[in-house]
Amino acid sequence: MSWVESIQKAINYMEEHLLEDITIEQIAQEVNSSVFHFQRTFAILTDMSIADYLRRRRLTLAAQELLGTEQKIIDLAYKYGYETPEAFTKAFRKQHHVTPSEARKKQGPLQSYNRLVIQVSLKGAEPMKYKIIEKDKFQIVGVKRTYNCQNGENTTEIPLFWQEINQSGFDHQLYQLNNGTVNGVLGVCVPNTEQGQKGFIDYWIATDHVGEVGEVGEDLLTMEVPASKWVIFEVHGPMPDAMQNTWKQIYSEWFPSNPYEPAGTAELEVYPEEDAYSPDSYSEIWIPIK
């Protein structure tokens, strides 16, 4: 089964179990995927977390039942996984901009999210510049935070993490420490392997550094990136759009038309020391493949 078929099978599984308390672990297991790889691919292709998709679909179906049946609101709340009518009403209003009672009285339009069907473009209309290299293990130094990918925390919090780093000037310190072969400051996404932390990632803002741990400062952490075969994509244009568009192109065009798949270890965004918001900005995406 190709990874594209796996994503579609996972969506079908979610649809079949919308009224159950399913977890990202169960969904990924259904398609023989790691939690890390599944949630990353899903978010890149759909611009939403798995939790977002489940919540939007459940509230869409709940709205349909409100309009088409005489089901009590409290019964619908429990049916669609909410512990109290108040929690259901809050979530319903956030999505539909009206309360369940107002929706039943047809007081305003509703927001409908349809069942997803993954459509992958193989046209390759925009050429992608990439190279594949073999690289030995190397050490990164920097800071890291752990994020929950099941609820989309990574999507909202990682940009704030970068903003904090840039405003503090810490990125300049990392550029000064960059004496390895990967040139620039790195955004490194790594699956969190701690027990009970499935669905979480560690996100590093770091740099490739050769030297002893004690030389880089007490506040910095180190991690060894394993030896891998890497596919390196060129990213041209201002952040964040250029980077986001390239990620989507990689998963919607490059992987489906090439005989590789992600290895599931650390993935890198590489930012050389230049104005990342310039129209002429250059950066890279490194993905370990197998």
Whether residue 90 is predicted with pLDDT greater than 60 in this model: the reply is yes
Whole-number average pLDDT of the chain? 89
- The reported pLDDT for the residue numbered 123 is 54
pLDDT in tens, 147-189: 988 777 888 899 999 999 999 999 999 999 999 999 999 999 9
- Residue corresponding to tokens 């398609």: 31
- The reported pLDDT for the residue numbered 121 is 54
- Tell me how far apart the alpha carbons of residues 181 and 138 are, in angstroms, rounded to a whole number: 9
Type of residue found at 56 = R
* Distance between first and last Cα of the chain: 16
Contact status, residue 100 vs residue 73, Cβ threshold 8 Å: yes
- Tell me how far apart the alpha carbons of residues 287 and 269 are, in angstroms, rounded to a whole number: 9
DSSP 13-49: HHHHTTTS---HHHHHHHTT--HHHHHHHHHHHHSS-
Contact status, residue 280 vs residue 238, Cβ threshold 8 Å: no
What's the predicted TM-score (pTM) here?
Answer: 0.84
Q: Give the residue among 238, 219, 240, 239 at the shortest CA–CA distance from 174.
A: 219
pLDDT in tens, 235-268: 999 998 999 999 988 988 888 888 898 998 999 9
Type of residue found at 118 = I
Whether residue 124 is predicted with pLDDT greater than 80 in this model: the reply is no
- Tell me how far apart the alpha carbons of residues 166 and 72 are, in angstroms, rounded to a whole number: 51
- The reported pLDDT for the residue numbered 152 is 77
pLDDT in tens, 192-243: 877 566 778 999 999 999 987 666 666 889 999 999 999 999 999 999 899 9
- The reported pLDDT for the residue numbered 71 is 94
For residue 126, give the DSSP letter. S
Whether the bond between 262 and the residue before it is cis, its omega within 30 degrees of 0, is: no
